[in-house]
Chain A
Amino acid sequence: MEYLIHLGILFTIYAILGISLNLVIGYTGLLSLTHAAFYGIGAYTTAILLTQTGIGFFLSVILGIIFVGIVSFLIGIVLSRFSDDYYALGSLGLNMIIFSIFLNWQSLTKGPLGILGISRPELFGINFSSNFMFLILTLLFLILTYLVARFIVNSSFGRVLKTIREDEKAIQVFGYKTFYFKLAIFVISAAMAAVAGSLFASYITFIDPSSFALMESIFIVAIIILGGLADLRGSILGALFLILLPEVLRFVGFPSEIAAQMRQVVYGVILILLMLYRPQGLIGEYKL
C-alpha cells in the first residue's frame, strides 16, 4: 500500500509536468526541451530555502514560481525568436547550461552531492509528513494545474496559441504579436513545472542534479507525446502509463541494474513506434 502511494505521488508530479509542457508543445507547437531545468530550479529553490532559512514550504513554492518566472522570462525572450528544430535545439542547449549550473555552482547547490534533509510541508496545523497526506497535497496541486491549464486552452488566448501552431505567419498578418504569446505560455508552463519541482524536493527530501538532466526533459516529452499532444487528459494518461511501465518491467523479473536500462530501451522504442504509426499519441489531436 505504501508503495502504491509512492507511485501515486510520482504520477501526480509527472502529470503536472506533462500538462504544463503540453501547453507549449501540444497547443503552441514549440518543441521545448528545457522543462526539466524549470522543474529543477523549482526543486532547488524549495530545497535551499527549506534547509537554510526558516521559510515554510508554501512560501517557498510561491518564491519558486516567481524565481522560475523570471528565469523562464529571460530564456523565453531568447527562445521565442526561433521555431521548429531550432527551437528544440536552443531549448536543449539552455537545459544543458542550467544543468551545468546545478552541477557546478557548488557553494549554492552542493554540486553532485545534492541537498539533504529537506523537510515536509505543514499548513494550518495539518502535517503532510505522512505519504498519504502528501499524496492528497500533490493531487490538489494536480487538480489546480489541470483547471488552470483547461481555462487557458479554452480561452481566446488558447485559441491564438493553437493558431500559432497551425500557421504562425497567418496570425501575424492579423496583427497578433506571436512573440508575446509564445513568451507568455512559456513562462506559465515553466511556473507550473516549478510547483512540480517544489513538491518533488519536499517529497523525496533529497535532490541532486541528476534528477534534472536532459533525459528528464525527454521523459516528460515522451509522456505527452504518448498520451497525446494538445490533450490535457492525454498527459495524465501518459504519465500514468510511463510511471507504471517500469513496475511492469520489474514484475517481469529483470535485475534492477538492467531494469533501469530496459526502461530507456522501452522509452526509445515507444517514441520510434509512435512517430511511425501514431504521431498524435493515444488520444491527442495534433501531430508534430
Chain B
Amino acid sequence: MEIFSQLIFNSIIAGAVYALIALGFNLIYGATKFLNLAHGVMTAIGGYTVFYFTKTLDWNIYLAVIIGILFAGLIGFSLDKFVYFPLRKRKASNMVLLVASFGAFTAIQAIIAILFNSRFQTLSQNTSAQKSFEIFGGVITQTQLIILASAALIMTGLVLLLHKTRFGKAIKAISDDEEVAKIVGINTNKIIGYVFFIGSAIAGFAGILVGFDTGIEPTMGLDLLFKGVIASIVGGIGNLYGGVLGAFLLGFVENFGIWKISGDWKDAIAFALLIVFLIFRPRGIMNK
C-alpha cells in the first residue's frame, strides 16, 4: 500500500513537471509548426541562472527565481529573433528548423558546461532540513507541493491568457492559419516572438523546480525535452490540454512501469510509449 501511494505521488509530481515543459513546447509548436528541440535547454538555463545568483552572488532566492525565469524567456526570444525568424522568412522546411534548433540545444548546453561544470548540483540550501509530509503512507516534500501548486497556477494562468485576452486570440489565429492572421492585420512575427518568450520562460521555471527538487546538471535539458515532447505527442501536438493530459499519462506509465523492474528502464518505457502512439495514434489523444 505504501509503495502504491508513493508511486501515485511520484507519478503526479513527474507529470506536473512534464506538463510545464509540454505547455511551452505545444504553445510554440502551435504557432510555428516545428519541433523546437532547443526548448529543453531552457530548463538548464533557468536552473543555472538561479544557481549563479543564489550560490555565487548570494542574492535573495525569490529574486533569483524571477531572474532565472526571465532569462530563459529572453534566450528563447533571441533564438527566435536571430535563428528561427530568418529561417521562417525564407520559408525553410520544418526539418531545417528542427536541425537548427538542435544545433542551438547542443551549443547552449555545452556553453553551460564550460561556464559552470558538469557536476550534479542542487539548488536547495539544506536538503536534510526539507519538510516532508506523510499521506496514506507515501511521502511528499514541501518542494514537491510547491511544484504541484505552481504547475496548477501556470496552467490556469495560461488558459486565461489564451481565452480571455486579445493576445491569446491572436495566438489562436496564428495557430489556425498564419497567412490569414497576417492578412487580418496581426503582427505575426511579434506575437510568435512573445510566444517563444512565454514558452521558454515556463520551461526555465520547470528547470528551476527540478533543481530545487533533485538538482541540476548541464545535460538535464535533454531528458526533460524528451519527456515534454513525448507528452505533447501522446496528448496531441499543438493542443495545450492534450499536452497536460499526455504529461500525466507519461508520469503514471513511467513510474508504474518500473514497479516490478529496475528503475533504469524508465527512459526506455517512456520512448516505448512514444513509439506505440506514433504507430497507432500519431495525432495523440486529443487531436482529431
Contact = CB atoms under 8 A, between A and B. Distances in A.
Nearest to A254: B114
Contacts of A97: 268, 271-272, 275
Contacts of B87: 275-276
B95 interface: yes
B278 A86 contact: yes
B166 to A, nearest CB: 31
A109 B99 CA distance: 32
B278 A267 contact: no
Nearest to B264: A104
Interface string A53-76: 000000000000000000000000
B275 A93 contact: yes
Contact of B95 (A84, A261, A268): A84
Contacts of A84: 94-95
B110 A288 contact: no
A139 interface: no
A215 B113 CA distance: 15
Interface in A249-279: 258, 261-265, 267-272, 275-276, 279
Interface string B86-119: 1100001111111110111111111101100000
A136 B140 CA distance: 61
A263 B230 CA distance: 29
B262 interface: yes
Nearest to A263: B110
Contact of B265 (A81, A89, A100, A215): A100
Interface of B: 34-35, 83, 86-87, 92-100, 102-111, 113-114, 222, 226, 229-230, 233, 262, 264-265, 267-268, 271-272, 274-275, 278-279, 282
26 contacts: A82-B282, A85-B34, A86-B282, A88-B98, A93-B271, A93-B274, A96-B268, A100-B264, A100-B265, A103-B264, A104-B262, A214-B222, A215-B106, A258-B114, A261-B110, A262-B114, A264-B106, A264-B110, A264-B113, A267-B103, A267-B107, A270-B103, A272-B107, A275-B92, A276-B86, A279-B96
